[in-house]
Structure 1
């Protein structure tokens, strides 16, 4: 039974530490030759903080990723949501 609970959960929803509102929007440059929003990740590196500040760098890339997912959601429809945890984010 313990294995089943670990695989399928206890049936009780849990709160995730992930919150999109905790991240600032990053002003990314977008490729103009694509049919969906695609950031210019090379340009994003020029906006990123110094690699010596690991915490700031992590916050920046999370914010950049969430900015991208937000742009994708706006493109495909507001009925999609951005979900995630402290390890990943996805559009579903």
Structure 2
């Protein structure tokens, strides 16, 4: 198993920022706007890239509708290795 220390500077920075801010998780938009109007694309993944690249768990939830009626979403992002805690509503950090 790969350990966090000495691996993935982005993960270490994210953990330090969370600790300094005293937060358990981040909340961010799932996308830059509403869902696409048709099924030819799923839209851009730009809002998911930081968390995916860092290996942080994230879950996207519905968050209402845009003026055009299409759905909007938000994502909850937990700490490294805290996948189950995020899914079960206990976003506390895993000890590294």
TM bin, normalised by shorter chain, reads: under 0.3
Give the TM-score normalised by the residue count of structure 1.
Answer: 0.26
Larger Rg: 1
Specify which structure has the higher proportion of strand.
2
Specify which structure has the higher proportion of helix.
1
